[in-house]
Structure 1
Amino acid sequence: MEDTKNVAQPERKKVIFSGIQPTGVMTLGNYLGAVKNWVQLQEDYNCIYCIVNMHAITVRQDPKALRQNTLEAYALLLACGIDPEKSIAFIQSHVTTHAELNWVLACSTQFGELSRMTQFKDKAKRYPENVNAGLFTYPVLMVADILLYQAHLVPVGIDQKQHLELTRDVAARFNNAYGNTFVIPEPYIPDQAHGAKIMSLADPTKKMSKSDDNANAFISILDKPEVIVKKFKRAVTDSEAEVCYREGKDGINNLMTIYSAVTGADFAAIEREFSGRGYGDFKTAVGEAVAEHLRPVRENFDRLMADKAYLESCYKRGAEMAECISRRTMDKVYKKIGFLPK
């Protein structure tokens, strides 16, 4: 009989968790900076992706619009390439353990820590008529989202680093008080080639945002090809006529970053391709390349939204899987803090 004790066992894949709010169609910046990379991560990690609709209600929502936006956000994830057979993809409010762990961890989070959260301060200024308790404490729900699944890695941008630091602090505090319970997650920061930072087309010193008052400043990933090309033709550049990547050329640098992300060409190749050609040619080429790159996303989204039964089967199965995994964590947490079993 073969001795298997010394045979190397296959290494278990690490868990990655990430969530996206259902607040309208994602921009090209969301897609190239995050979601496109999530698709690639499915091959090497156990990925758990969530539509965080519970986070969305910290700002008052129209219920009908929220339902539609949630469904569309889920469909967009799948349209972008998130495979429900490879990853767990679900809607946050369908998994009750998120609210349960939120309360327990709120009791291990300090008031001062939440007071220092910059996003609370920013949103409180933007929505002064509704500075609610949920807006103040929602970082704890974000902590719960991550720790429920014992995530090893969390893809983060600069604006989310503070929340991941809070997650690590709360997890360590709970582990110290009650014994080893949670994995302490690390940030997953992709290299520049796999996590492009996309700036506004109207003001390339600012990040691309769908909340921009200027519709020409951002590309929605469901924009029609002619709209995409028109927006790129209007993109801000500079008074020179040389397509090259260097300091002080924010507009051209941004367009080169986008073109590189959708074509795979490096900056040197882009500079050679457009040597001696004007900005008009370059902006048109970028627009056409982006429109073509997003074509399968638009087609997949239309197909999925026409098959609501399939979407429902996917998000229900995802929620069942998420509930099963997260319930194990909750049972452990309840035992550690002294709650009687049911």
Structure 2
Amino acid sequence: MTFKPLVFSGVQPTGNLHLGNYLGAIRRFVLLQDSHDCIYCVVDMHAITVWQDPVELMRATREVTAAFLAAGIDPKKHIVFNQSRVMQHAELAWVFNCVARMGWLNRMTQFKEKAGKDRENASVGLFAYPTLMAADILVYRATHVPVGDDQKQHLELTRDIAQKFNNDYSSRIADLDVGVEMMMGDERVNGFFPLTEPLIEGPAPRVMSLRDGSKKMSKSEPSDLSRINLTDDAETISKKIRKAKTDPDGLPSDVEGLKGRPEAENLVTIYAALAESTKERVLGEFGGQQFSAFKPALAELAVARLAPIANEMRRISADQAYVDGVLREGGERASVIAEATMKTVRSILGLVSS
């Protein structure tokens, strides 16, 4: 017996979703539906590792859900829910806090970046964030996770935690006959938790700020002109692209010519991603032209791809009862899977729970 392929991924509800979120994550989620069983989660418990306004957190949770649905995720065929509805995430996270080693968490670069120089003032939740992420994945015994560069280290930690749990309780897993066959390198072994694999469907485009091509597009940047929000209407999308920062030179004829020109490369990258093409092909079409000719073409393409999603998001968001119903039903379905996992985990650990 082997693990059934299952994809898990989540998005934090921490403000306006933008073009980078769509191209880097949500669009990939939609494509994976055709080939995998998928569980997609709005990770509201991760969001509170730093303080959140409660009313805004609820709004943002519903907005991310609406974005999932507007982009084409089917909540009937797959599972869409918010993390806090399924208490087993937190329960397994505590188990993993007792499995993971302090040294492992101390090496997490994302904590160092987010905590900055004031590490003593960071929340314990921010430090232990990776063990909750591991629990998110492994409470469903997910086999694959689509990851970007900033999450690869956390997935490696998830695999380390799964492997240590399997090793620490190997005899108990064997006694209960709850092991599943998997590969560790060239060796075939049994374990309860899978060693989850990264799912790479080609490189996700790295979308940068429209005001500074050296910085990632971010919802935290003060200027709204720096990003294209998924809620922007057609006129706003066009305006932001017209005002996007460029340099005085025209577009080069090949990718080599984009080196040292971050704003030019960013706009070409966005066009290629939206057109489901390559930067080489984009430059083959527009190389030698000025940005005054390229920007209108990019704006037209962006409006064609994004405006329908924005319109559908607004329509779905207006029906709060429907959004809440999707989250409630998804949470109920997710809870069944998560509780089956935790029932076995409790038995493996020796926790008296019946």
For normalisation by structure 1, the TM-score amounts to 0.91
CA offsets 1:31-70 (integer angstroms, 9 cap, x no match): 0111101100000011110000001111111111111111
Q: Which residue of 65, 88, 93 corresponds with 2:84?
A: 93
1:26 matched to 2:22? The reply is no
Question: Conserved in 1, the CA contact under 8 Å of 2:3 and 2:194?
Answer: no
State the alpha-carbon separation in 1 of the partners of residues 268 and 222 from structure 2. Answer: 24
Structure 2 residue matching 1:90: 3-state secondary structure: strand
Say if 1:200 and 1:209, in contact at 8 Å, map to a contact too: yes
The one of 294, 298, 313 equivalent to 1:282 is 294
Task: Provide the rounded CA distance (Å) in 1 between the counterparts of 2:252 and 2:240.
Answer: 18
Give the residue type in structure 2 aligned to 1:222: T
Counterpart CA distance in 1 for 2:303 and 2:229 is 11
Partner of 1:233: 242
Aligned positions of 1:88-167 closer than 5 A: 88-125=79-116, 130-167=121-158
Distance (Å, rounded) in 1 between the aligned partners of 2:9 and 2:15 = 18
Shift of 1:321: 0.9
Distance in structure 1 (CA, Å) of the matches to 2:350 and 2:294: 64
| Contact in 1 for aligned 2:3/2:143 (Cα 8 Å) | no
Deviation of the 1:130 alpha carbon: 4.9
1:60 aligned to 44, 47, 51, which one? Answer: 51
Name the counterpart of 2:186: none
| Aligned-partner SS, 2:116 | helix
Where do 1:68-87 residues align within 5 Å? 68-87=59-78
Q: Does 1:298 align with 2:310?
A: yes
In structure 2, distance between residues paired with 1:223 and 1:126: 36
Question: 5+ residue gaps in structure 1?
Answer: 1-10
- Matched with 2:31 is 40
Q: Which amino acid aligns with 2:346?
A: Y
Quickly say closer, same or farther: Cα 1:243–1:291, change in 2 above 3 A.
farther
Counterpart CA distance in 2 for 1:129 and 1:173 is 28
Aligned partner of residue 58 in structure 2, secondary structure = helix
Q: Structure 1: how far apart are the matches of 2:120 and 2:60?
A: 23
Runs of 5+ unmatched residues, structure 2: 171-190
Q: Which residue among 200, 212, 222 is the counterpart of 1:189?
A: 200
Q: Find out whether 1:223 has 2:223 as its counterpart.
A: no
Shift of 1:12: 8.4
Q: Mark the CA change 1:21 to 1:255 in structure 2 (over 3 Å): closer, same or farther.
A: same
4+ long deviations beyond 6 Å? 126-129
What is the aligned-residue RMSD (CA, Å)? 1.9
**How far apart in 2 are the matches of 1:131 and 1:272?**
49
Which residue of 2 is the match for residue 5 of structure 1?
A: none
Instruction: List per-residue Cα deviations over 1:253-288 (Å, max 9, x = no partner).
Output: 221221122223443442343255321110121122
CA contact (8 A) 1:13 1:45 kept: no
Distance 1:339 1:115, change over 3 A: same
- Given the two structures, how large is their TM-score scaled by the length of structure 2? 0.88
| Separation in structure 2 between the aligned mates of residue 116 and residue 268 of structure 1, nearest angstrom | 38
Identity %: 46
For residues 106 and 278 of structure 1, the distance between their equivalents in structure 2, rounded to whole angstroms, comes to 55
